[in-house]
Structure 1
């Protein structure tokens, strides 16, 4: 193949429009694309304690999702009445999925979107794993 020609799509064409060598920025880009394509209100990656690692969406929504994601993932954990009420409200509109990362585990939480939002969270999970394994 002539080196001045673009490679065919099957031979390594770059799908990503933005990329970064910084893992946190790369995670944000990954979540932003999934959020946009899925028409999601917010999508966050959090650790098992509710600390926001990366997110896409309005900052207050991302912070709330991060804080409540571990409690939404483990609904049997004891909480106060006020927290329990908020968890009940959020559980109707938020989907949380575990993201195993070798010996650690993170959580992906999504707010908004339709019935097919599981597909977008699965795609985001695969991208996050790829980014974190390369870091």
Structure 2
């Protein structure tokens, strides 16, 4: 039984932290964060400033509306676009954003597939935890 199954909490924020921390360790991620659609951190694992930055930019990265921003903002979004993966996760009829940044660039097909599996599992866990809270 893996460590994630041993660490459980009935507190949704703690449960989210455990889920994200497990995914971060398994995926060798710099940071992983759940953000609301306005770019506010809901929960994260990793350096807090990195989590805040990822959350703030996640809506822009998810929507692809960077062309309408000022040059300094759009250049930062463009730089993050190559480092960050953002996924929309449905929770009780609403969406949150799951955003990750790798510690190093992943290029091998096997590593990318493993990363995608980890993120899919994290998305399911986040949805399960937040849906339980919303019910």
How much has 1:120 moved relative to structure 2?
Answer: 1.4
Aligned residue number for residue 109 of structure 2? none
Alpha-carbon separation, structure 1, partners of 2:118 and 2:30 = 12
Q: What is the aligned counterpart of 1:58 among 44, 47, 57?
A: 47
Which of 75, 88, 94 is matched with 1:98 structurally?
88
Alignment correspondent of 1:3: none
Counterpart in the other structure of 1:4: none
| Aligned counterparts of 1:49 and 1:129: Cα–Cα separation in 2 | 18
User: Which residue of the other structure, out of 112, 120, 123, is the alignment partner of 1:122?
Assistant: 120
Output the TM-score relative to the length of structure 1: 0.85
Q: Deviations over 1:56-100 (max 9, x none)?
A: 111111010000000000112521111100000000010000101
Considering fraction of residues, name the structure with more helix: 2
Alpha-carbon RMSD across the aligned residues, in angstroms, is 1.7
Give the greater-gyration-radius structure (CA): 1
Runs of at least 5 residues in structure 1 that lack an aligned partner in the other structure? 1-8
Structure 1 runs (4+) greater than 3 angstroms displaced: none
For 2:117 and 2:30, the matched residues in 1 are separated by 15
| Paired residue total | 123
> d(CA) in 2 for partners of 1:55 and 1:15?
16
Cα contact 2:57–2:77 (8 A) shared by 1 = yes
* TM-score when normalising by structure 2: 0.85
Q: Deviations over 1:98-133 (max 9, x none)?
A: 101132110000100632322111110011111112
Residue 24 of structure 1: aligned partner: 13
Q: CA deviation at 1:15?
A: 5.8
